[in-house]
Amino acid sequence: MTGKVYGIDLGTNNIKIYKKGKGIVLDEKNMIAIKNEKDVIAIGDEAFEMFEKAPDDVVVTFPLRNGVIADMEYMRTLFRNFIYRINKGNKFQSSKFVVAVPTDITEVEKRAFFNDLIDNNIPKVKDIYMVDKPVAAVLGADLDVTNASGVMMVDIGASTTEIAVLSLGGIVISKLLPIGGDTLDEAIVATMKKNCKLVVGKKTAERLKIELGCAYPNNDSELKIFGRNVVTGLPQDVLVKSPLVNGAIREHLDAIVEAIKGILERTPPEIAADIIDNGIWLCGGSSKIKRFGELISEETELTVNICDKPSMAVIRGLGRIIEEPALSQLAFNVFR
C-alpha cells in the first residue's frame, strides 16, 4: 500500500496503531477520562491511572466492550485524539486506514468501525480497509495464511475469545466467545468477596490473574494484596495463593477449551490433518496464563504454540499487510 497508511487494532483493553514506514507507534489503554460529561482530561494510559480512583464528576471508561463500540461519542473522541497525537497535527490528505475487526459482528457494527469512527471523524481520509482479526493474527505469528495449509488461531483478548480455522487467505470456520481477560478479572473479584470477605478493584484482580493465574493449582505461588473488608468496611491485606485464583478462573478456561474442541469437531478432515501437523496457535494477552497451553494440549491431544509477544500479534499482522505488497489483497475496501 502506498502513501500514508495506518493500521488499527481496536482492542477492548488496548488500542494499537501501526504507521507505514514507522512501525507500531501507539500501544495504550483504550480508555478515556471525562469531567463534567464534556471535558476530556486524559486518554490512554494516563486515563487508566485514574481508573477506580476518580471523583464522582469524572467518568473513566472503556468505550469499547466485547469487541464492539459501546459508546460511539467517547470512542470517536478517544480515537481522534490518538490519531492527532501520532500524526502531530491534522494533515490527513489521502490517508488510508486498515482496521482489524472481529469476524462475528454485524454489518451495522462494522459500519460503526468504518464510517462513524474514521470516515466521519478524521478529515480527508482516502480509503478504509477491513481485515479479519484472525487473518492479521496468523500473519503476526509469522505464519503463511495464503496457501492451502490450514491453521487454527485462538485469540484470547480482554473481553472476547475468537477461535478461527483459516486456509487460502480466508476463514473456514470461526466462533466468537464472550469470554476474555476481563471475564477472568470479574471472576477473581467475586471469589475474593465470597471466600476472603474482601472487596478488590479490577487492577488488583488483574494483578492476581497475571501473577497467580494458572490453569493448574500451584501452592508455591502467593501474593499479598489489599482491599476493603466486607464486614468492617476497613482496609485489609490478605495473602492469596494460586489455588484460589485457579478456582476462580478455571471454569472460564474450560469453556474456552470446550469451544476449541467444538470447532475442531466441525473442521473439514483435510484441514484437520494440517492442524495436527501445525498445532493450535494462541495469541492475545490472556493466552499468557500459566500452563493454559498445556491444558488445551491435554484436552485436544494437539501441540499448542503461543505467539511471540501474543498481545501484539494482530497489529504485527496489519503491519505486514501494509508493508508487503503481496499481502495487500487480504485487506478489503468494503464500504468506499
Name the DSSP letter for residue 28: E
Q: What pLDDT, on a 0 to 100 scale, did the predictor assign at position 334? A: 61
**d(C-alpha 29, C-alpha 13), whole Å:** 6
**d(C-alpha 269, C-alpha 146), whole Å:** 19
- The closest of 274, 288, 281 to 141, measured between CA atoms, is 281
Q: What pLDDT, on a 0 to 100 scale, did the predictor assign at position 6? A: 92
Q: What pLDDT, on a 0 to 100 scale, did the predictor assign at position 105? A: 75
Cell, residue 335: 464500504
**d(C-alpha 294, C-alpha 58), whole Å:** 43
Q: Domain spans of the chain?
A: 5-136+314-330, 145-179+250-307, 181-248
Q: What pLDDT, on a 0 to 100 scale, did the predictor assign at position 91? A: 64
* 10: β partners: 15
In CATH terms, are 5-136+314-330 and 145-179+250-307 the same topology? yes
CATH code at 5-136+314-330: 3.30.420.40
Q: What pLDDT, on a 0 to 100 scale, did the predictor assign at position 113? A: 72
Which residue in the block uniquely carries the three cell numbers 477449551? 257
CATH code at 145-179+250-307: 3.30.420.40
- Tens place of pLDDT per residue across the chain (336 aa): 667 899 999 888 899 999 999 999 999 999 999 998 888 999 999 999 999 888 989 999 988 877 678 888 899 999 988 988 887 765 666 788 999 988 877 777 777 777 778 888 877 777 889 999 999 999 999 998 888 899 999 999 998 999 999 999 899 999 999 999 999 999 999 999 999 999 999 999 999 999 999 998 877 789 999 999 999 999 999 999 999 999 999 999 999 999 999 999 999 999 999 999 999 999 999 999 999 999 999 999 999 999 999 999 999 999 999 999 999 999 987 655
CATH code at 181-248: 3.90.640.10
Q: What pLDDT, on a 0 to 100 scale, did the predictor assign at position 213? A: 94
